[in-house]
Amino acid sequence: MTDTVEQTDWRLEARDVVYEVDAARLLDRVDLNVAEGELVGLVGPNGAGKTTLLRTIGGLLKTRDGAVLLDGDEVRRMDSGERAKSIAHVAQLAPLAQGFTALEVVMMGRYPHMGRLQSERAVDREVVKRALETTGVGSLADRTLETLSGGERQGVFVARALAQEPRLLLLDEPTSNLDINHQARFFNIVRGLVDGGMTAVAAIHDLSLAARFCDRMVLLSEGVVVADGAPGDVLSPENIEAAFGVRAIVSSDPASGSLNLSIMVPGSPEISPGAGTRIHVVCGGGTGARLMYRLCEAGFTVTAGPLGTGDTDRVAAESLGVEHVPVQAFDAIDDASHEAHIKLVQRCDVAVLSDVAFGTGNLRSLEALARAQQIVLATLRPISERDFTGGDAAALFERLSPVAAWSDLEALVTGLPGLAQSSRVAQP
């Protein structure tokens, strides 16, 4: 028997869900809506509540407050047979099912549709055949599970889930133990099912993988929804820091358009020598992205000069929260931007010049750099190879008075604190 409540456009609804164990609140007023034909990824740190939410959605856990509805029916009020027909689970570790063939395991998915003593029917065999083919494991039908790889076994258990003909597919970190090839193949299968109308909710450990395949993502932390929306909105540096306690650079892959994440591990004082030191970077054209990343990771307060729209260094600066002077791509630095740059240069302890090339558009960056208390070169190429101004850049460069030059990034990071200290001592 089921209780049906007001009908909505959502296939799945979790309303104000609270789940507790021994007074520890594992889910705290969680709301989740999932439409038909949508793949929603649950992401978050260990202990965030991803698996607990999946088990609650599946009716396996009794909530203290709130309700989970599937097409308007309260899941906890469904009998076990009805739930098995409606909801299928694929776990993180596929059970070995020693001695059973892939075909036999997938046929187990038909049990909710068969009578207690009923043998398999033609319709059951047809559904199982279709499930095996859909998941690409049809050729493995007669092999026992212990002879299959981890990826092949997961494919078989997805086929078993499909054989249930569910309305909802729940996936609990199903690719955590698979290599990258099988991870991609697995989610390609799931993506195809969802595009065909299946509804799926998946707890996913790999944020980049989740962003690539999910329509929406729900970020959990300590049982609370931190963010819910499109991958690009959920995986912001601010949200990642709030949930995981780490800083991250989020960028778009130029080939696939999917999101890439670079995580900066917070350092202890022993490995964060830059704390309290301001470093200004003059860069552009992708020559400063790695430099700014490493400086931020080492604890320096980093600023940067004028960076044009679409410049890789500007993307990195924005992702890292580096204060910089934004300008239009290919435009010459105007007076206002030049003055803003000078102010950043004058506030720093040390200014670092990257391997950036100079044209008429960014020549004023060298003029601003000359106002720095101390200048360090982080370059590999001579200025003659980077001067596209007919010699003007080289002339400005020669008037600079760098106190050090490092082509090795780690040597630069190690050496900057000492230079910054001497800069402060020298100030009146």
| 393: in domain | yes
Quote the DSSP letter at residue 75: G
Give yes or no: residues 203 and 312 share one domain.
Answer: no
Predicted TM-score (pTM) of the model is 0.76
Q: Strand, helix or coil at 28? A: strand
Give yes or no: residues 291 and 348 share one domain.
Answer: yes
What's the domain count of the chain? Answer: 2
427 pLDDT band (50/70/90 cuts)?
low
Question: What are the angstrom distances between the C-alpha of 195 and each of 91, 151, 283?
Answer: 22, 22, 44
269: amino acid identity, one letter: P
Give yes or no: residues 281 and 397 share one domain.
Answer: yes
Question: What are the angstrom distances between the C-alpha of 165 and each of 59, 169, 185?
Answer: 18, 10, 21
- Per residue in 388-412, pLDDT (tens digit) is 999 999 999 999 999 999 989 999 9
User: What is the average pLDDT across 39-47?
Assistant: 96
| 87: in domain | yes
Give yes or no: residues 245 and 374 share one domain.
Answer: no
CA-to-CA distance for 53 and 32, rounded, in angstroms? 10
Q: What is the CATH number of the domain that holds 321?
A: 3.40.50.720
CA-to-CA distance for 302 and 352, rounded, in angstroms? 10
Range of the domain at 194: 12-251
pLDDT value of residue 7: 47
| 273: in domain | yes
pLDDT value of residue 9: 67
Give yes or no: residues 75 and 49 share one domain.
Answer: yes
Give yes or no: residues 224 and 287 share one domain.
Answer: no
| 5: in domain | no
Give yes or no: residues 119 and 222 share one domain.
Answer: yes
pLDDT value of residue 182: 85
Residue 76 has pLDDT above 70, yes or no: yes
Backbone torsion region of residue 173, taken as left when φ is above 0, otherwise alpha when ψ lies between -120 and 50, otherwise beta: left
Looking at the chain, the whole-number percentage of residues with pLDDT higher than 70 is: 93
- Per residue in 227-260, pLDDT (tens digit) is 999 999 999 989 998 999 888 878 777 677 788 8
Single residue among 251, 277, 300 that ends a domain in this structure: 251
pLDDT value of residue 118: 77
Single residue among 188, 222, 251 that ends a domain in this structure: 251
- The least confident of 71-85, 102-116, 249-263 is 249-263
Give yes or no: residues 297 and 420 share one domain.
Answer: yes
Residue 2 has pLDDT above 50, yes or no: no
Q: Comparing 10 with 349, which gets the higher pLDDT? A: 349
Quote the DSSP letter at residue 165: -
Give yes or no: residues 243 and 274 share one domain.
Answer: no
Give yes or no: residues 166 and 227 share one domain.
Answer: yes
| 397: in domain | yes
5 pLDDT band (50/70/90 cuts)?
very low
292 pLDDT band (50/70/90 cuts)?
very high
Looking at the chain, the whole-number percentage of residues with pLDDT higher than 90 is: 68
| 310: in domain | yes
- Per residue in 202-214, pLDDT (tens digit) is 999 999 999 999 9
pLDDT value of residue 181: 87
Q: What is the average pLDDT score of the chain? A: 89
Q: State phi, psi for 30 to the nearest 5 degrees.
A: -85, 130
Q: What is the CATH number of the domain that holds 181?
A: 3.40.50.300
| 344: in domain | yes
Residue 267 has pLDDT above 70, yes or no: no
Q: Is residue 109 a contact partner of residue 162, using CB atoms and an 8 Å limit?
A: yes
| 6: in domain | no
pLDDT value of residue 18: 96
Could you identify the residue written with the tokens 């395949």?
213
Single residue among 217, 251, 285 that ends a domain in this structure: 251
pLDDT value of residue 269: 46
Give yes or no: residues 225 and 333 share one domain.
Answer: no
pLDDT value of residue 114: 86
Give yes or no: residues 70 and 191 share one domain.
Answer: yes
